[in-house]
Amino acid sequence: MATWSNLGTQDANSPLMEQLTFFHDHTLMILTMITILVAYMMSTIFFNKLINRNLLEGQTIELIWTILPAFTLIFIALPSLQILYLMDELNKPVITIKSIGHQWYWTYEYSDFNNIEFDSYMKPLNSSEMSDFRLLDVDNRTILPMNTQIRILITSADVIHSWTIPSLGIKIDGTPGRLNQGSMFINRPGLMFGQCSEICGANHSFMPIVVESVSTNQFIHWLKSN
């Protein structure tokens, strides 16, 4: 999860988030080069005392500053489109879970396994432990196996919500009367924190998401215990 003084994105825990991080760095390098070039040209113009009073047009320079931005946009658009299609691609999911947004908590359904269903509320401060993260920990975590293709279906029972896990590169809107789907492939075990990213009412800031990634054997044991 993000901590103080972090300048970049959260550590990636899925192949999709790794690609998003690479694209972020790729675009940031292009923007940095453009900023340095423009700053250099502006500084030379400001401090240049030579003036060409007979200059009316410059077709060569106009052609250059039209073609170069076009190529720059192509270098940004091509990887962006590739990641966009990767985000929509769903390749033979092994597990399907459903998340329903409410004001202000989440309901999870494991319909593939004897219809396991539970609500996930934020832990109140008076029952939190010292190791819990304030406003981020929940009473019932979403248990998922790692190294498994997972499909998640998002909807809402009242207003528009948004199910978001930054370290997995997932942000899916929960719209009433509509099912939106996404895919997850978790690389490592651990805890991943997220929050509703759509302003949904007075307690919008108090409906966090916690995904706990475990091994397949631990996931099967958790299923049997439920």
List beta partners, residue 194. 209
- pLDDT per residue as tens digits for the range 104-142: 899 999 988 877 889 999 988 777 777 778 888 898 889
Q: How confident is the model at residue 46 (pLDDT cuts 50, 70, 90)?
A: confident
Distance CA 32, CA 120 (A): 42
Question: What was the pLDDT predicted at 1?
Answer: 60
123, two tokens: 């832990």
In whole angstroms, give the CA distance from residue 195 to residue 3. 15
Distance CA 100, CA 114 (A): 18
Query: Residue 2: what pLDDT?
Result: 63
User: Where are the domain boundaries for CATH 2.60.40.420 in the chain?
Assistant: 95-225
Listed range (56-60, 146-150, 207-211) with the worst mean pLDDT: 56-60
Inform me whether the pLDDT recorded for 4 exceeds 70: yes
222 Cβ contact partners less than 8 Å away, ≥ 6 residues apart: 143, 214
Asked if residues 178 and 205 have their Cβ atoms less than 8 Å apart, the reply is no
Q: For residue 143, what pLDDT is reported?
A: 92
Average confidence score pLDDT of the chain: 87
Distance of alpha carbon 148 from alpha carbon 174, whole angstroms: 23
This prediction's pTM: 0.79
CB 184 within 8 Å of CB 224: no
Mean pLDDT for 97-109 is 92
Residue-wise pLDDT tens digits, 134-187: 888 898 889 999 988 999 999 998 899 999 998 898 999 999 989 998 888 898
Class of domain 95-225 as given by CATH: mainly beta
Looking at residues 23-33, what average pLDDT do you find?
Answer: 91
Average pLDDT over residues 206-215: 92
Write the burial class of residue 141 (CB in 10 Å: 0-12 exposed, 13-18 middle, 19+ buried). middle
More confident residue, 106 or 9: 106
In single-letter form, the type of residue at position 198 comes to E
Closest CA to 96 of 141, 138, 140, 144: 144
With 90 as the cut, is the pLDDT of residue 15 above it? Answer: no
Q: What is the mean pLDDT of residues 214-219?
A: 90
